[in-house]
Amino acid sequence: MESWVQDIEFERHGRLRRLVRTVISNPIANYLPAVMLKGLLRFGKSDLAMSNWKDPGGWRSMVISYDGNPTQIADRILVKSGAMSTALRNRRRLGARLLARLIDESPSEPAHVLCLGAGPGRIIMDAMNQADRDSFATLVDLSSDAFEYGRSNARNEGLIDRVHFIQGDVRDVKQMLDRPPDIVKMLGICEYLTDEQIVDIVRSAAEVMPAGSSIVFNSLSLAHGTNRFFRRVFGLHMNHRTPEHLECLFGSAGFADFVSHEEPLGVYHVIVGRRKPAPESNDEKGSS
């Protein structure tokens, strides 16, 4: 799987940029009074701040970072040079590449990709565009807020007939599908959930997944260096976990054979796991 990701054009921060981040920008962001930073962001009409204040960690702020080209000066500083936004764009590239390869490897064509906490579906649409083989996607989100934007992207990219948006709680996913998924995508959601919520969701997904099918998710580390800023200024309380911690949670819900890929800033790992075969029931054992 390593060769799948070797040629991705990641964004990297050189030594000087890392030094400036550590010695100047992160301490300012983390320790300047929150009221002052909020005032500056409000004065600078920061879209990134406004969308986080409205919906902390929601899909809109993600799209601003993914696009990487905001108009306001405050956003340009945060999005272009902030470690978190850069790492998000790297995660987008890494996630899309892995999903495209899984689509190409899938035993079914078209492959069915189920996206949990999908937002507007940016990463899966990148993957569908990159894959050589045919696929379609079911995108589930609690909020239908992102769907109009997602549909408009899908229309522009010729994917509108291959994406199906469903508003609902991903724990009810069993009732939403008429065909089992070949791949399940859970990028950009675990960091907003507790361990218990993750296990609940992953168990529900496992119930509809055939043995050997793939699940793609991500960890989040503190390497971005601005957790204090996100908590105080954006009201964003994210759960940082190692890949091993998440693999343990996903393992307890029926997955194994994890392979983990780190993006160059060390903020995110994108991890692929496989659905374990269901254990034989005692009845089946007895009758064989």
Ligand X SMILES: C[S@@+](CC[C@H](N)C(=O)[O-])C[C@H]1O[C@@H](n2cnc3c(N)ncnc32)[C@H](O)[C@@H]1O
187 is a contact residue toward ligand X (CB under 6 A): yes
Out of 29, 48, 49, 62, name the contact with ligand X by CB under 6 A: 62
Q: Report CA-CA distances (Å) from 40 to 24, 50, 73, 244.
A: 17, 12, 11, 39
Q: Report helix, strand or coil for 115.
A: strand
Cβ within 8 Å of residue 261, ≥6 positions away? 1, 5, 94, 98, 269, 270, 271
Length of the chain: 288
CA atoms within 13 Å, Cβ hemisphere of 258: 22
Min dist CB 59 to ligand X, Å, is 4
Strands 268-275 and 214-220: antiparallel
Out of 181, 188, 254, 273, name the contact with ligand X by CB under 6 A: 188
Distance, CA of 60 to CA of 53 (rounded, Å): 11
Out of 142, 222, 248, 256, name the contact with ligand X by CB under 6 A: 142
- Token pair 């959930």 in the structure block, residue: 193
Return the range that interacts with ligand X (CB under 6 A); candidates 29-37, 138-146, 222-230, 255-263: 138-146
Return the range that interacts with ligand X (CB under 6 A); candidates 33-41, 139-147, 149-157, 260-268: 139-147
Tell which positions 149-178 bind ligand X, by CB under 6 A: 169-170
DSSP state of 224: G
Q: How many residues of this chain bind ligand X (CB under 6 A)?
A: 19
Tell which positions 66-125 bind ligand X, by CB under 6 A: 117-119, 122-123
Q: Please, which residue, 29 or 140, has the CB nearer to ligand X? A: 140
Cα-flanking dihedrals φ and ψ of residue 266, to 5°? 75, 10
- Token pair 């399940």 in the structure block, residue: 184
190 is a contact residue toward ligand X (CB under 6 A): no
Longest dimension (CA), the chain: 73
Min dist CB 105 to ligand X, Å, is 22
Residue with the CB atom nearest ligand X in the bound state: 188
Return the range that interacts with ligand X (CB under 6 A); candidates 17-25, 182-190, 206-214, 223-231: 182-190
Binding site for ligand X (CB under 6 A): 57-59, 62, 117-119, 122-123, 140-143, 146, 169-170, 187-189
